[in-house]
Amino acid sequence: MPRLRKQRRRKTYKHNINRKRLRNKIEGVGNISCKEIKNAWDKKKSVQSNLEEMGLSYDPNKTIEIPKRKKQLKEALGASEGTEWKAEEIKQNSKNYVVKALESEAKAPREKRFQLPKGQVEWITYLLRKYGKDYKAMARDRKNYYQETWKQLRQKIRTFKKIPVQYNKYLQENGLTASDTEEPEISDDEL
């Protein structure tokens, strides 16, 4: 009977591999980026028991169960009258502060960091310098490679004006103030 190739292969020690680091990488649970969860985490307990103790869901499919069609039909036909439903007891979690901290963090207002790309800012500033508020002339410009309509250009300029970092830089470069560039609201019918 022929010998197996696996058995014949020579076992060699690989000097370029740190086995301890490799083992920790395979068996490690990873880094917890959330500060509140990291502080409340108990390394001796499993992931599921840790999350349940904090009042968080381990498996959202079990927590918020989608009713099965077959079960709904049985209930509609009255087949489930003999079964008794037990209301889930709400466990008093010892680490409720984690959920409260996460909820307050989620409700906190966020700083908007939206900015237009550099090329688009250059395009918009070019149009504003050349045409001012004449959107229809902007649409006919030779550099309007993407053939944007005057309404699309107007919307891009409005979004540009709503970003104070970029818009204030444009105003400073051209020696303008915010009151010089404000335009009265014009309906689409007037244009």
Q: Running along the chain, 191 residues long, what does each successive block of 10 average in pLDDT?
A: 64 89 83 89 89 91 86 78 43 79 91 91 96 96 95 97 94 83 57 52
Yes or no: say if 136 and 125 are a contact pair by the CB < 8 Å rule. Answer: no
Distance from C-alpha of 175 to C-alpha of 168, rounded to nearest angstrom: 10
Q: Which residues contact 95 (CB under 8 A, 6 or more apart)?
A: 40, 53, 54, 55
Whole-number pLDDT of residue 86: 41
Whole-number pLDDT of residue 143: 94
Yes or no: say if 117 and 124 are a contact pair by the CB < 8 Å rule. Answer: no
For the entire predicted model, the pTM comes to 0.48
Amino acid sitting at position 62:
K
Whole-number pLDDT of residue 87: 37
